[in-house]
Amino acid sequence: MPQPLRAAIIGSGNIGTDLLLKILRHGRHVAAGALVGIDPASDGLARAARLGVPTTADGVQGLVAMDAFGDIDIVFDATSAASHLDNEAVLRRARPGIRMIDLTPAAIGPYCVPVVNGEEHLDARNVNMVTCGGQATIPMVAAVHRVASVRYAEIVASISSRSAGPGTRANIDEFTETTARAIEVVGGATKGKAIIVLNPADPPLIMRDTVYTLSEPGSESAIEASVAEMVAAVQAYVPGYRLKQRVQFDPVQGLKVPGVGEDLAGLKTSIFLEVEGAAHYLPAFAGNLDIMTSAALRTAERMAEKMRRA
């Protein structure tokens, strides 16, 4: 059996460390090759070193200088949108063909939501995992759209403020813009809108997502069945992903939607989700981070599987 491909993770914070533990526990076609940070005292780098994973605290330049870099086939970037632009440029100069999986909202490469369009981008050199809200909600927009054409989709992602680290907070604008665009490009909506809420509740609440779609008239039972099928597909790699209640439907007449420019009539579908994390490194309430790392690993596994067959 061929050896798994080796992957490096840039970013030794919550997301990068959680992703590292997921690779070590569940990676079949991908193995942990390096963890990269900029803080020598970070818990992530210390944990990786204890687990025998090569580390550097010198950022992407440190990765390129590592002996292990020559064996790296895939690089996950779990930093920030601005940092990803620099990291991508450095890695392209060093290894033009290296594969990158971007967990920031930088969106250099095509958007990737594994259960919706993951198979379309297995040959891409850089794929973008959208956002946590996008990974949770775009499958639901797509589930409605494959039954009845979605004219407008709006999502609200509510996450615990304690699960929003510096990278998340620095990327709020990019979060809303990237998610809204991916709702259209991947989810199929003519117009998309995204809202993020940082919930300060104590004890922390787990991630909640609300999806509203306005579609052409369609079969409510068919939409409900499509949503249930899509939920099950996401649960294959995010077990804590679930519906909070049954899908709700409301006929709509004469609704004016900004950006669409017409009075719309059709079917309003409301979907309420909850995402509980697997608690590999982060608390269970941090489902927003868990769904990102789970989707990134699922994408890398499929990418590596195809690369190993080539």
Please give the model's pTM, rounded to 2 decimal places: 0.94
Confidence band (pLDDT; 50, 70, 90) for 258?
low
Q: Which residues are the active-site residues?
A: 132
Burial class (CB in 10 A: 0-12, 13-18, 19+), 167: buried
Query: In the block, which residue shows the tokens 């490469």?
Result: 109
Domains of the chain: 5-129+290-309 (3.40.50.720), 132-285 (3.30.360.10)
Q: Is 155 annotated as a binding residue?
A: no
pLDDT at 262 over 90: no
Q: Is 12 annotated as a binding residue?
A: yes
CA 301 to CA 27: how far, in whole Å?
7
pLDDT at 20 over 90: yes
Q: Is 163 annotated as a binding residue?
A: yes
The tens digit of pLDDT for each residue in 234-249 reads: 999 999 999 999 999 9
Q: Is 99 annotated as a binding residue?
A: no
Q: Is 170 annotated as a binding residue?
A: yes
Instruction: Please report the pLDDT score of residue 295 as a whole number.
Output: 98
- The answer to whether the beta carbons of residues 53 and 76 sit under 8 Å apart is no
Confidence band (pLDDT; 50, 70, 90) for 112?
very high
The tens digit of pLDDT for each residue in 154-212 reads: 999 999 999 877 767 777 888 899 999 999 999 999 999 999 999 999 999 999 999 99
Confidence band (pLDDT; 50, 70, 90) for 57?
very high
Burial readout 214-253 (b: 16 or more C-beta within 10 A, e: otherwise): bbeebebeebbebbeebbebbeebbebbeeeeebeeeebe
